[in-house]
Amino acid sequence: MPKILTIRRREDERERARLYLKSRLMLPTIPLGMVTLLAGYGDMVLMWIQNELTPQALLGSTLLFLCGAFWGWGHARYERYLVGVCPEYFARKQKQLEAAKEYKRVKRDFPTTGPLHPGRRFVLGMYVVGIAFQVGISLYYLGHVGVYAAIFLPWAGYFNAKVIFWRELFTSG
């Protein structure tokens, strides 16, 4: 009997984690991805209309988008790993949000640390490397593709990759 309860609790935590990802992370990401995509490629269209678009600028904008998409794919992949390995992290966040929405007193016995899993320091290092790389590549292409494209295209790739990868998480059951 305890084994059945443990499995059911684990499934409930996974569902809460999915609900948290869907409601708090995926739904706001969709409009952010669209706005950043329009702003980034809008700047490229403006360069094309002004007859300033060069093959290097087009290649740079594609590279910016792909670097952001790779970063977003990695981040979504890590969140997918967390849902599989320690869904209680997202389930705890969802439970806190539900309690706040219903004006219930939030229990203080929730741990405030992040998810505990092997390789946590490696993931933190990868976050630092990813952010530094995104800032560096944006600064490098700032003069080549335009300000808006250099700033918004990596974010467009990031948000769109996360939405695409999260969609797979919700359709796979």
> Would you state the structure tokens that stand for residue 90, as one six-digit string?
């997202």
C-alpha to C-alpha distance for 20 and 23, rounded to whole angstroms: 5
- Average pLDDT value for the chain: 81
Q: Would the pLDDT of 47 be above 70?
A: yes
Mean pLDDT, residues 112-133: 82
Spatial separation of the C-alpha atoms in residues 110 and 164, rounded to whole Å? 31
Q: Is the pLDDT of residue 172 over 70?
A: no
Model pTM score: 0.80
